[in-house]
Amino acid sequence: MSFLIRYGHWEVTAMTMSSITAKLRRKNQDQYRLLGICIFLSVLLVSSFTIMFFSPSIQEFLPQGGDTRKLMWLMLGVVSVGCLIFTLYGSSLFFRKKSREFGVMLALGQEKRELSRQLSRELAAVVGKYVLSGLALAIPVSYLIWKLFQMMVISTERLRYRLGIAGALAGLLFAAALSVCILILGIRFIRRANIMDILNANRKTEMVREIKPWYGKAGAALIVAGLFLAMAVPQLTVRLFKQGMPGMWNLTYLLALLGLYMVILSAIGHSKRGKHPEKYYNHIISTNLMRFTARQTTRNMCVIALLAFVMVTSAFWGVMYYFSAIEGGMDAPYDYSLHFPAKEEQIGQEEIETLAKKYDVSLTDYEESQLLNLIIRYTGRDMNDQKQYFDVEYEKMASFISASNLERILGKSVSLKAGEYKTVTAADFREAIWVSADCLDEITDPVTGESMKPEFKGTVEFDNLAVNNSHPFTFVLSDEDYDRFEKDLADDWKEDHIFFNTADVMETYGFADAVKKEYISRATSLSNHYGLYDAHEEELALAAGNEYSYAGELDLSADNPQILDEWKYSPFSKVLLQAGAMELTAVFVLLSIYISVISLTAAGIMSYVRSITIAVDNCQLFEDLKRLGANNAYRERAIRVQLRRIFAYPVAAGCTIVAVFSLFLTYFNDMRIQVFEVKMLLMEVLLMIVIAGVMYAVYRVAYSRTKQIVGIGR
């Protein structure tokens, strides 16, 4: 059988169906390459991320049930969905282009069943090849990223690269889910039986409907309203009405999503002559080209805007954690502070000075003090299942220091009369919903039972006594009241405290580590308690026949990675605090910045592919414009207008939403914006500029390629 086929610019005679199919495949190999790149990048990026996220080194740092772990799970889900969406978008373009080839073969008499089998084999080969390639490179890529990351942070044994089986399995699961989704799209494509629908798929356009002028303004209002309702209202109701919002309230975020859709749809589909009709007519071609695919273009641009939101937010959180670690604890008046039960034979001034000489460290401002542990009653708040906050009276132990001792240690006046007290707080203290600084109702001597109801006289900032010492606070008593309680108390109810400074504290890591190890080695069962352990609470719980949740002992060894966070008597050191915080922060920074890279890659590819699609779909239109007399400059301007909208609108929308989101988050968290938070907001602006620069580079590449497709500059 001999026949002639005209397809594009080439002819084939007396050929078999298999050779025709092979020829078509070679002719349209860019379709396979684009699909393969989407699959490869998705599998590579997500798998390498899961390998790092589920690494034992990472999992040991992220507290079980903590907010950081929850946030990382959320980011993992968003990244996975984002990569899945942009790959499925690439797949839909593949099938859209494949439909013409499929329709030609059907028109030539090829059986649909045979074409289906052939397409299945091709899909299996393409998907299998690129999925396996992505999985194979995931481990070396994650290793290289990890080593690069280690060069920028403190390298410790706990931060070594360790491969976890859970990460590899998660990558395989994503690859399998991606393959199944592509398979479903393929089955859906194969089931289309109408040849004319297949051949005319590229010529279909959406119904052009009028976009009202108020659409954009209403969308912007919905974005602000949705973010305000979701972020501000829960904080305001807690503070004003002592009532939390139910979990369903988070659905108000959907208002912002709807607003985003309306804003982008209005930007794409709404046009009018207005006061400058010449501009309207100059851009009438490019404007109306986008209107014919407004809904489809809007959906894609919304996904890109959400990816922009994710990339800026995740990078912002990573940078915020980084600066928090650098500045955390640096306001404490003393570089080092230790506290321990008075009955425990612990490290003292002589041992500390010996270690200082060994590590060539200069000690300054050495001070010691003793504090009393007294029974207190105070008013705090709790929350029920309906998220209603209510006042509760608690009874437990708390630490007290005399006014004269605190004045000597701080070097500033602390004045109190008998019957008065002050509360020790950290610098820039802001009262939380759970407890206030004036919470103290009654103080009781644990030996004699003598009680007093003191009068609140304000707060004193002293981070060394406010951090990891006494819950809810450490309190200050007048010298008269302190002496009256102290005379009947044995050492069982007292704690010793040591405070000192060093020259160049951030250069004393070796000394700090030696002090910590010596301090831990001398610890006994007297101090082996969890951070929130309270002897009086345990006594009350056991007397009532209940279990005490904070009972038990820790692994008191210098190798325990959680000891500084969980131990009631953990030593405070600025250099150790920053080193430990930097390790946890570095893990979060690594994951969040990697998420930003993944999101930026996905957004760049989606924008590029969308640009190429517009060029391919409208090739004939640009050819017609040329025949009607339009010069290259006019056609280039039409292309630029479309591409600028594709690249600029979603990035601008995503960054604007991030800005509003971050502003609400920083302000409504504690109803104020601190200097530190202003720095973070400025850093966020810098991140937006970087992202805009990367997307501009992709725009230039897409612009050059689009001109080639429509025949400009050839």
Range with the poorest average pLDDT among 23-27, 430-434, 704-708: 23-27
pLDDT of residue 342: 95
- pLDDT band of 414, cuts 50, 70, 90: very high
pLDDT at 13 over 50: no
pLDDT at 364 over 80: yes
pLDDT at 8 over 60: no
The contacts of residue 236 (CB under 8 Å, 6+ apart) are 668
* Mean per-residue pLDDT over the chain, rounded: 82
pLDDT at 100 over 50: yes
The contacts of residue 485 (CB under 8 Å, 6+ apart) are 372, 374, 400, 443, 445, 450, 477
pLDDT of residue 479: 95
pLDDT at 429 over 50: yes
- pLDDT band of 299, cuts 50, 70, 90: confident
pLDDT of residue 518: 95
Note whether 477 and 400 are within 8 A (CB). yes
The contacts of residue 546 (CB under 8 Å, 6+ apart) are none
pLDDT of residue 210: 66
pLDDT at 389 over 60: yes
Q: How many CB atoms lie within 10 A of CB 100?
A: 17
pLDDT at 11 over 50: no
Residues 8-25 have a mean pLDDT of 54
Residues 39-63 have a mean pLDDT of 83
Task: Report the DSSP beta bridge partners of residue 243.
Answer: 388
Residues 73-77 have a mean pLDDT of 76
pLDDT single digits (tens) 632-643 = 888 888 888 888
pLDDT of residue 153: 56
pLDDT at 392 over 50: yes
Residues 92-107 have a mean pLDDT of 72
pLDDT single digits (tens) 133-156 = 999 999 898 888 887 777 765 555
- pLDDT band of 591, cuts 50, 70, 90: confident
CA distance 244 to 384: 10
Residues 378-397 have a mean pLDDT of 86
Q: Report which listed range, 67-71, 241-245, 413-417, is most confident.
A: 413-417
pLDDT at 212 over 90: no
Q: Report which listed range, 71-75, 101-105, 620-624, is most confident.
A: 620-624
Beta pairing class for 10-13 and 389-402: unpaired
pLDDT single digits (tens) 309-354 = 888 887 777 777 666 666 666 778 999 999 999 999 999 999 999 9
- pLDDT band of 243, cuts 50, 70, 90: confident
pLDDT single digits (tens) 164-176 = 788 889 899 999 9
Between 29 and 148, name the one with better pLDDT. Answer: 148
Range with the poorest average pLDDT among 52-61, 73-82, 321-330: 321-330
pLDDT at 699 over 90: yes
| Exposed/middle/buried for residue 527 (C-beta within 10 Å: 0-12, 13-18, 19+) | buried
Predicted structure pTM score: 0.74
pLDDT of residue 23: 66
- Among residues of the chain, what percentage have pLDDT more than 90? 33
- Among residues of the chain, what percentage have pLDDT more than 70? 82
User: One-letter amino acid identity for 534?
Assistant: D
- pLDDT band of 628, cuts 50, 70, 90: confident
- pLDDT band of 410, cuts 50, 70, 90: very high
**DSSP letter, residue 506:** G
Between 605 and 450, name the one with better pLDDT. Answer: 450
pLDDT of residue 601: 83
Q: Report which listed range, 26-30, 105-109, 241-245, 473-477, is most confident.
A: 473-477
Instruction: Characterize 624-655 residue by residue with b for buried, 16 or more Cβ atoms within 10 angstroms of its Cβ, and e for exposed.
Output: ebbeeeeeeeebbbbbebbbebbbbbbbbbbb
Range with the poorest average pLDDT among 33-47, 306-320, 598-612, 647-661: 306-320
pLDDT at 64 over 70: no
Residues 96-119 have a mean pLDDT of 72
Beta pairing class for 363-383 and 494-502: antiparallel
pLDDT at 12 over 50: no
Beta pairing class for 474-477 and 389-402: parallel
- pLDDT band of 26, cuts 50, 70, 90: low
CA distance 296 to 134: 29
Q: What is the token pair recorded at 98?
A: 């494949």
pLDDT at 515 over 60: yes
| Exposed/middle/buried for residue 334 (C-beta within 10 Å: 0-12, 13-18, 19+) | buried
pLDDT at 467 over 80: no
Beta pairing class for 420-425 and 10-13: unpaired
pLDDT of residue 593: 77
Task: Report the DSSP beta bridge partners of residue 168.
Answer: none
Task: Report the DSSP beta bridge partners of residue 476.
Answer: 401, 422
pLDDT of residue 119: 77
Between 143 and 11, name the one with better pLDDT. Answer: 143
CA distance 627 to 506: 73
Residues 588-603 have a mean pLDDT of 79
